[in-house]
Structure 1
């Protein structure tokens, strides 16, 4: 039986996680799990934003675990702002005997980041992305990562980002 692969995308809202994760999933036929999508479904079914956070990660872990144990590739698309969230993916990969690859997106140009946040339109039913003030608050709460990972500067052309990710995954 082949070994599954967990590709964990993390980074602040509006830095390009979903854009890059979607492209990778389309190219590889990986299973793409978006925390925003899971939270959106939970909110449409009566849960508040305060109730969905950690629960959405738990649901994603359960779904991902089954696919990883079957030897599939799962792309986890989430902010992963704190060590506990990141540890959850790490423990899931260990428990599933899966390869774990971490990709963190960053948009170091503040004006470009702000423009992206303010101009994006939701592609999820009933989902509202955070506004710039909420993203700035998230940035203040975002714990610096210290794990082995690829940090992708998404101010570069998107094709450059795709090539960098493909090369990293091929290692």
Structure 2
């Protein structure tokens, strides 16, 4: 299965994606890490679409090995979401789209402004940049709200919904 995460920076998506990867023993593919590696290489100051394209390849390789893959990125545009779905289709696996939101704007802002980076050299966006970011509406995604739930509670709900989706596609 390819589990396609998306959500604005600071919504909790990487926290949830990592925890889900750990629980499912899945491969975690994080676009932030790939994009920062491209910038650090000196090849380009702006990773542009290259980070996503590299992530699609890594995800596809792991899916063909029979692994569950968690794709972790902001995924703000329909075109990137469609590309992830194409990766799953090419590998012949089920795809699940998961949009992570933090419905409490004050909490979301606090998280965005106080979180530390765990990717060397990665500069996190400001709250203003997050608020003004182009972000296309999702259709058909599992929506997970991290505003007032623990990571374990979110994971329990998400795993249950993923199992239902997987059962429907068998």
Q: TM-score band, normalised by the shorter chain? A: over 0.9
Residues in 1 aligned to 2:54 and 2:114: alpha-carbon distance in whole angstroms: 29
In the alignment, which residue of structure 1 is the partner of 2:168? none
Does 1:83 pair with 2:78?
yes
The alpha carbon displacement at 1:74 in A equals 0.6
Matched, 1:165 2:158: yes
Deviations 1:24-44 (A, max 9, x none): 111121110000000110111
1:53 partner SS:
coil
Give every structure 1 segment of 4 or more consecutive aligned residues whose post-TM-superposition deviation is greater than 3 Å: none
Aligned to 1:94: 89
Aligned residues: 162
How far off is 1:117 after superposition? Answer: 0.3
What are structure 2's unaligned runs of at least 5 residues?
Answer: 165-170
Structure-1 separation of matches of 2:65 and 2:31: 21
Classify the secondary structure of the residue corresponding to 1:169: helix
Offset at residue 149 of structure 1 (A): 1.8
**Distance between the aligned counterparts of 1:53 and 1:133, measured in 2?**
21
Aligned residue number for residue 66 of structure 1 = 61
> Which of residues 98, 102, 124 is equivalent to 1:103?
98
Q: Give the TM-score taking structure 2 as reference length.
A: 0.92
1:26 and 2:15 matched: no
* TM-superposed deviation, 1:156: 2.2
Aligned counterpart, 1:10: 6
Q: Which runs of 5+ in 1 are unaligned?
A: none
Give the drift of 1:100.
0.3
TM-score by length of structure 1 reads: 0.92
